[in-house]
Structure 1
Amino acid sequence: MAFTRNLTILLFLLFTTFAFGQERYPLYANDIVAQRAWVDSVYQQMTPKERIGQLFMVDIFSSDPQVKIDKIKKLIKEEHIGGLIFSKGGPMRQAKLNNEFQAMSKTKLLVGMDAEWGLAMRLDSTYAFPWNMTLGAIQDNNIVKKVGKRIGEHSKRLGVHINFAPVVDININPANPIIGNRSFGEDKVNVTEKAIAFMEGMQEAGVLGSAKHFPGHGDTDKDSHKTLPTLNFTKERLQSVEMYPYKPIIENGIASIMVAHLNVPALVPEEGVPTSISPTVVTKMLKEEYLFHGLIFTDALNMKGAANFKEPGDIDLAAFKAGNDILLISENVPSASAKILNALQQGEITEERLAHSVKKILYAKYKVGLHNYTPVTTKNLVNDLNSRYDDIVYSEAIENAITVTKNNNNVIPVTNIDQKKIAYVGLGDDDGSAFKQQLRKYASIENITTKTLEATQEKLADFHYVIIGFHRSNANPWKSYKFTKENIRWIKEIAKTKTVVLDLFVRPYAMLDLQDTQDIEAIIHSYQNSKLAQEKSAQLIFGAIPSKGRLPVSLGDTPIRTGLQSGTLRRMSYGIPEEVGVDSDTLNIKIDSLVNLGIKRAMMPGAQVLVARRGKVIYDKSFGYHTYNKKQPVRPESMYDIASMTKILASLPLLMELESEGSIDLEDKLGTLIPELKGSNKANITLKKALSHYGRFKAWIPFYVSTLDSVTKKPLDDYYSTSYSPNYNIKVAEKMYLRTGYTDTIIKKIADSDLRSRLSYKYSDLPYYLMKKFLEDYYGQNLQELTSSHFYNSIGANYTGYRPLRKFEKEMIVPSENDTYWRNQKVQGYVHDMGAAMQSNMGGHAGLFSNSNDVAKLMQMYLQDGYYGGKRYFSKETMERFNTCNYCDNEVRRGVGFDKPQLSGGGPTCGCVPMTSFGHSGFTGTYTWADPENELVYVFLSNRTFPTMENRALIKSGLRTTIQEVIYQSLID
């Protein structure tokens, strides 16, 4: 037992010593014994010139001409250089060059890149992650770690072993021309925490990190690429601010540090010597005081901050003597190599000093796998560097970064959108279309595009609420971010008379020029003008996502770490399937394939399909055309006749509202609710039975047939006129007016109709004719007015309603049929259902037009038990009562109004949904379903009835429920 215990203690001590060694010696690999043996073996086989060659990392653009490429090959062959730093170009070109260069290197090359926000910092066709300033606003450092890890994975995939990141400069000076957005901010603690998180993620991916620019480049207004910046601060100030991040990041295992070209008199006793070639800074401070055992890089030796002081070869020799391990971008490698070799031979440099750096470089090469080198695979390279997972990481980062620094009177998130007239004014010189499009998914937004302030103010006269987006180039963090004087004038003048939300898609320092913000109600910092940043910011404004970020810099009267936290109004948000536990490939590839196959097989000319989970729309696509002539493509705003889905999206919510407030009860009898039914065979049927299709109603009555000539089948003149008049005031279709008062005839015919002889389930439209009668009499308004004022306007269902031609252009409305049996015209903008058309295109069972996004909002409101957008429409208890299968024991699958999953045999779903789910389908080829247990909403809209309702291919195929099955197959949690 004693032996076992002692062995355990010994192993523990060995493990902890090794772990500490990895922390203090960040270049050590897990298999340290094998690593050391490899390093010693390779070093022993090298000539002095080969060893010196390892010190150089030279630059190459993958877009360079052949003459430059040949020069690199010559340096590999003759100077035995140890590394390359790739810069501008493309990933495929770089991969091929990388493989070519590595193949001719005796000791494989250590490959570096500046990929601070991803490979896109240097390469086309690669992914750009958020800049450090954006990451600095995030409160959860695990998100920053994810970004670092993903950048590391991209780098590794391209054969890059060291990324010169993270920047740990404390950006105290807003006028800094070279750091700015590259810094995590001006708070030294926040910068340090973010840098460590970023580094940990990147190094977990197997790519070495490099903290830069030691001792600190944040508080200067000069660019060291062009001159030698001066930091004229005391040593105490430098150590407490600029140099603060280095000890913690060293302790946490940073693999390398880059030393900047700076004039820092308090640290460098050698007059006129930049920090990068100062032994005091590099050796005494970084190695001895900070106990750093990783690689030390010079900043690029061709930068003016260094190159202005010595000849190319002398600079390299001085930098090496100062203690640097790798000489980055030497201006003249052969000259520098010769001078270092001569210094070695003359005894100015010892063999021990050379071995110290070269062996560290070899340790690094082993750690990144160069002892077992494999070429970069070019297959799927670009796809791998632009994956869906990158969007997920970016999306999470942006969502957590967006910062609200002012919100007077809680003007965001926007509430009561039905009471506000909202305009958007875009400023800046870059695109803001993604922002505008996303805003319009929530409310009716007017885009004001006039060229003068005076014309803009005139256009804004009737608007209460103005969103101003400031958009400037997102190409790189050095792009101009400032307001023009004219921008400032516009903002101030508009804000004097309007409620203004100012959203800045630039670095926060832009606000320093906008000194007076008294009249601006809300200020949002979205940091970057990327598509995702624009979309997320719009979602925040309307309360679909909360604000979480905090300002990483101070802005005059706005202190650092300002960040007003707002909750949500539980409006729909928009994002990526994996964010809510859904596999994108299954969802996208399979649904796309199924819908396109349906169009190819003429099941319908086109369609809209939407899927949402956990309140987030994750699939929203438009397919095909309005008709088979393929002239008008289906767009997101295209509106479909949703047929019987009207029952649950128009009549039902109004009834649920009344039930929730106690004005009606499901046990109420129809004769009580509708006086015209007193004494009829419908009088004692309860509301619950009628809406559950268990009231013995006939399926339907073809009211229009009795208005046709029995021989010619043409509309009778007694019933119709081609023009409006007091006697013919019910518009059925173009130039077709029905006799005034015929709607009363319809109600009478229903009241007088026979009941089915047997009490059993039978789907029927007739109860909803009666519900229209009840609701309109109860409120003294028609269904169009009721549904809009009670639900659609406040929910933001701006493309939903009856009689859409009164509000929208005809081209926006998908036609439903070429009617050859009654109306004898193309039915477009008028309801397909004949009975609803005879009710002035406004039935309780049909007549509603909508698009997939609006249908999803209404279904989400149901999933949220009657709550949406900050408003409760009815109670949770009401939702439960209506979503109950009251007569399941009698083989009636329906809830109260809602369709429910099949009880046995065929039915309305894929058979893979829980019994708590609900929805409805429509005759024209529409379908929607919601699942509370899996928090799913599914919408399918089509016009399978065009050009004829006799086309039943969609129905026979089961396409809609096959897509539903795919949705469930895509769930991964």
Structure 2
Amino acid sequence: MKQLLILGLSGFMLAGSGSKPALAQVGPVPKLLTADAAATHWVDSVFESLNNDERIAQLIMIRAHSNLGADHVKKITKDIEDNKVGGLIFFQGGPVRQANLTNYYQSISQTPLLIAIDGEWGLGMRLDSVISLPRNLMIGAAQDSSLAYKAGKVLGQQCRRLGVHVDYAPDMDINNNPNNPVINDRSFGQDKTQVARMGVEMIRGIQDQDVMAVAKHFPGHGDTDTDSHLDMPVIHKSRAQLDSLELYPFRQAIKAGIASIMMAHLYIPAIDSTPNTPTSISHKAVVDLLKGEMGYKGIVITDALEMKGIAKFYTGGEEAARSLVAGNDMLMLPSSARGSVEAIKRAIRRGEISWNEVNERVKKVLLAKYNLGLNKPQVIETANLAADLNAVTDTLIKEIGRQSITLLKNDNQLIPFKQHTPAKVAVIAVGADVNNAFLQSIKATRPDINTFIFTSRQSPAQVAPVVERLKNEFQAVIIGVHNYGRRPGNNFGISSAERLLVQRLQQEMPSATVVFGNPYAIQYFCDAPTIVAAYEDDDATQKSAVQLLFGQLIPTGKLPVTVCPNFTYGMGIVPATPPPALALQPLEEIAPAKVGMNAATLTKIDILAQDMIAKGAAPGCEILAMKDGKIVYNKVFGHYDYSSNEPVTHSSIYDLASVTKVCATTMSVMKLYDEGKLSLDGTLGDYLPWVKGSNKANLKIRDVLLHQAGLVSFIPFYQGVLMKNGAPDTALFHSYADSIYSRRVAEHLYMKDCYVDTMYQKILESSLKPQQGYVYSDNDFIFLGKVVESITGQKLNHYVRETFYEPLGMNSTGFKPRERFPLSQIAPTESERSFRMQWIRGDVHDPGAAMFGGVAGHAGLFSNAEDLAVLMQMLLNGGTYGGQRFIKEETIKLFTAYNSNISRRGLGFDKPEKNNGKHGEAYPAKSASSLTFGHTGFTGTCIWVDPQSKLVFIFLSNRVCPAGGDNKKLITMHVRENIMEVLYEAMNQK
């Protein structure tokens, strides 16, 4: 069993058991800051090998280039050998040169160096011969957040190949100031939910490659018109405004397990009004707000301390000391490494910070180094390096270009241009210097089209002749706007002649304009009758624009920012495409009295939860209730296990067990029924060819959903793979994964992939007794999960995530959570004494679902409470949420009604007993109406929705921890039923 050790951090305001402070929260411990015994041993041994100066130096990151020659290399070498700095941040240069220098610098360093780069759009941002990814604003225009994940994955892959451990990405600022000179198109946009959604996915993409992501610039640099590289920006916003907007993406990043957050050099009086105190050196910003109220447990790093936003006030190393005293963990680019060490020692002598605090942060950094693999030598292979770095970008760049391109206006209906319609069309590339890919692609598509170039060097006097010629010789014109700047200064570098030409052509003849680059520049062309935002000016984007112009590409992008009154955030003509991803608002938490519930009565839930823990029914839980679409109760209690080391938090993710049946499989079946792709009177044989010829082929989908098809309750697959000593058969299981043993069942336990076929065969060969009536069966939903996969052509986990969870903003919900979250965020289940013989944490508790690889129709789903509440509220809303319809209302009513004469079941959903509470125990609560629907899970979970009372009730626990299903106290004590009944009682005591 792997024991997780978590470094304690000072300055945290922890939520007490059973309560949620007004502002404070407890975030998860990032994966890079969790440790087993080996990690702790390495950290301690390295720490003990360092003297006090060297320990401080571990917190310092200095600048490095691979293009500044021998003198620069000597300077870096001296800082490594004499000052023992902890890491390097590489800037401009080339990939092979950087690799060679990294190998050299690592070889001379006493302690392995943490290598970082500021590569928000890839290594091409800093290095020659490497292709860059698009800026975040272009990704924000796309409606598919998987693109952000893929972009993050590419960033991580590039970094790993070049020996880089930290990428200072992504930018999580909300750019709501068009004149922002420093953030601008580095942001995903102006909408906080879109920024958070895209940013979180990029974080996961980076960190899934074992690279440290850095969310920046806390607490939000988007609403500034001053460049903090040159001066200190001031943000005059109230704390409430910051909470509702700028801080939102960072809260979501914390929930998602971001490893590091970068502090900005901003003066924000609402946070700290001390003169000349940017947030980067403000104890109130770093400790009180970020580490305290927001519960952040990762590494906090300063923005560059050489920037004028702080250097105008402090220098000589004093800026580093101020930053460390304020609560930062790492110090980026101080003015002097030696000066910083000395200044920090002076601060220690003055009592401003203790050695214990410094040493705690040093160990924190060393632990991150260990988890990034720096406990072992890392030598970068330079052969084919540039080719390897570029190999991962090409396909993604094209995909982002296709999905982001935005048709903002098409009043003259020129787009799509038809063959030879209009008869004579010209295209002019304004600002181009050469016959670029845009012109070449148009010519290849329509050879009859004439091409022209108007460079930025041409004068206003040359505009009129060009306009007259085009008006006289052509019936329409396509205008490409190219080669302008990315920043708002000096009109983005678009000359007065270029602006005049475009505006006159738009006014005087039928035209379609494509703006290649920062969309804020569209502000100069807001009266265009037809205009396209293309976001970048590279070959791939230019070719995508041509495909759009000539009907080969359907636009799917949405404008991520407002550029003028005519073109505002979210605009974009999207014909005949799936609905766009939502800009969802978080669930609102209100006082119970506002929806007619008695708050004092609800405190009885606290007592029931505490009694549950005290009597050993479950070590902890989260309970959430919603009335009329608002959260009225949301509290956490207890710990992950009875050791009381890890408290349950609002970010905790639980194994939902059989709740999977409704929140994944039934949801999918409902959607396919909606779309006419699945018939309730169809049979398993209609959808699963491998079932044909068995006695399961003619089982109707309706009966399978109702658990009355005659299938056995479950098959203990694991019993058939055990040897005489009780251990898994070594012929079927390996301790590591390879191409044959690829199905993860648990830690160091991988099953032979082909054995899954044997499991399905066992189901086909199992007895069938239709006459037995209602028998609750896992096998019913194993079949249904495969039906969904057969119809959609997608794995169940991918289908539900793309169809429901991702559009609904349910970031925590999904299968195989270890792939997306640190273990510290996932509640453990059983200390299993048979089959897997280990502590089960992050792998599905159900052994059958585990043998299926963690994804099955009956079990395997994990989630936190708030995300489940969103899904249930969507059903309560009649299938809509955030303005988008997911399922038809009549479908929900059909599936959640009583559908059987022999049981209480709905189609997939569980329901109250038909004579609920009249002849014995109540289920799920005595006062639950007959409209109520939901499900319970073996691990101690439940979800219930009562449309009559407009009530949503979520209960998540791990009652099987640690002894397994033998602990039935949660059931015998009727904990869930009693808590739900309190909700009804509170409604009746207004």
Q: Normalising by structure 1, what TM-score?
A: 0.55
Distance between the aligned counterparts of 2:64 and 2:86, measured in 1?
Answer: 14
Deviates more, 1:250-259 or 1:520-529: 520-529
CA shift for structure 1 position 474: 7.6
Q: Is the 8 A contact 2:219 2:264 kept in 1?
A: yes
Partner of 1:434: 437
Partner of 1:51: 55
Distance between the aligned counterparts of 1:286 and 1:449, measured in 2?
Answer: 52
Change (3 A) 1:403 1:279: same
Distance between the aligned counterparts of 1:502 and 1:227, measured in 2?
Answer: 37
Partner of 2:68: 64
Partner of 1:559: 568
Q: Is the 8 A contact 1:483 1:513 kept in 2?
A: no
Q: Is the 8 A contact 1:84 1:109 kept in 2?
A: yes
Q: Is the 8 A contact 2:317 2:336 kept in 1?
A: yes
Partner of 1:512: 523
1:540 partnered with 2:530: no
Q: Is the 8 A contact 1:62 1:93 kept in 2?
A: yes
Partner of 2:258: 254
Partner of 1:458: 468
Matched letter for residue 422 of structure 1: V
CA shift for structure 1 position 137: 0.2
**From 398, 401, 404, the counterpart of 1:398:** 401
CA shift for structure 1 position 473: 4.9
Partner of 1:487: 498
Partner of 1:355: 359
Match of 2:317, SS? helix
Q: CA RMSD in A?
A: 2.5
**From 90, 103, 108, the counterpart of 1:104:** 108
CA shift for structure 1 position 38: 1.6
Matched letter for residue 520 of structure 2: Y
Distance between the aligned counterparts of 1:329 and 1:265, measured in 2?
Answer: 26
Q: Is the 8 A contact 1:181 1:478 kept in 2?
A: no
Partner of 1:156: 160
Change (3 A) 1:24 1:281: same
Match of 2:248, SS? coil
Partner of 2:514: 503
**From 166, 180, 183, the counterpart of 1:179:** 183
Q: Is the 8 A contact 1:504 1:526 kept in 2?
A: yes
- Which has the bigger relative contact order, CA under 8 A and spacing at least 6? 2
Distance between the aligned counterparts of 2:504 and 2:396, measured in 1?
Answer: 39
Partner of 1:242: 246
Which consecutive segments of 4 or more residues in structure 1 shift more than 6 A?
10-15, 20-23, 474-480
1:468 partnered with 2:479: yes
Matched letter for residue 81 of structure 2: K
Match of 2:220, SS? coil
Partner of 1:523: 531
Match of 2:514, SS? strand
Distance between the aligned counterparts of 1:129 and 1:477, measured in 2?
Answer: 21
CA shift for structure 1 position 549: 0.5
Match of 1:59, SS? strand
Matched letter for residue 226 of structure 2: K
Q: Is the 8 A contact 1:430 1:473 kept in 2?
A: no
Partner of 1:206: 210
Distance between the aligned counterparts of 2:444 and 2:233, measured in 1?
Answer: 49
Match of 1:344, SS? helix
Distance between the aligned counterparts of 1:160 and 1:380, measured in 2?
Answer: 17
CA shift for structure 1 position 481: 3.2
Change (3 A) 1:94 1:393: same
CA shift for structure 1 position 347: 4.3
Superposition pairs of residues 821-900 of structure 1, within 5 angstroms: none
Q: Is the 8 A contact 1:163 1:210 kept in 2?
A: yes
Distance between the aligned counterparts of 2:230 and 2:32, measured in 1?
Answer: 37
1:263 partnered with 2:278: no
**Residues 87-140 of structure 1: per-residue CA shift (max 9 Å, x gap):** 011111111111111001111001111000011111111120000111110100
Partner of 1:762: none
CA shift for structure 1 position 344: 3.2
Partner of 1:330: 334
CA shift for structure 1 position 408: 1.3
Partner of 1:386: 390
Distance between the aligned counterparts of 2:440 and 2:575, measured in 1?
Answer: 23
Change (3 A) 1:122 1:75: same
Q: Normalising by structure 2, what TM-score?
A: 0.54
Q: Is the 8 A contact 1:473 1:529 kept in 2?
A: no
Matched letter for residue 572 of structure 2: G
CA shift for structure 1 position 59: 0.3
CA shift for structure 1 position 67: 1.7
CA shift for structure 1 position 491: 2.1
Distance between the aligned counterparts of 2:4 and 2:540, measured in 1?
Answer: 49
Partner of 1:372: 376
Superposition pairs of residues 663-742 of structure 1, within 5 angstroms: none
Partner of 1:550: 558
Q: Is the 8 A contact 1:472 1:480 kept in 2?
A: no
CA shift for structure 1 position 351: 2.4
Listed as ranges, the gaps of 5+ residues in structure 1 are: 1-9, 569-973
Distance between the aligned counterparts of 1:449 and 1:259, measured in 2?
Answer: 45
Match of 2:563, SS? coil
- Structure number with larger C-alpha Rg: 1
Partner of 1:741: none
1:407 partnered with 2:410: yes
Match of 1:354, SS? helix
Q: Is the 8 A contact 2:431 2:453 kept in 1?
A: no
**From 31, 36, 42, the counterpart of 2:40:** 36
Change (3 A) 1:222 1:346: closer
Change (3 A) 1:302 1:372: same
Partner of 1:113: 117
CA shift for structure 1 position 476: 9.3
1:124 partnered with 2:128: yes
Distance between the aligned counterparts of 2:306 and 2:158, measured in 1?
Answer: 28
Partner of 1:669: none
% identical equivalent positions: 37
Match of 1:217, SS? coil
Partner of 1:289: 293
Distance between the aligned counterparts of 1:58 and 1:480, measured in 2?
Answer: 35
Partner of 1:710: none
Q: Is the 8 A contact 1:432 1:469 kept in 2?
A: no
Q: Is the 8 A contact 1:297 1:325 kept in 2?
A: yes
Change (3 A) 1:347 1:234: closer
Partner of 2:710: none
Change (3 A) 1:479 1:138: farther
Matched letter for residue 179 of structure 2: A
Listed as ranges, the gaps of 5+ residues in structure 2 are: 7-14, 16-24, 578-990
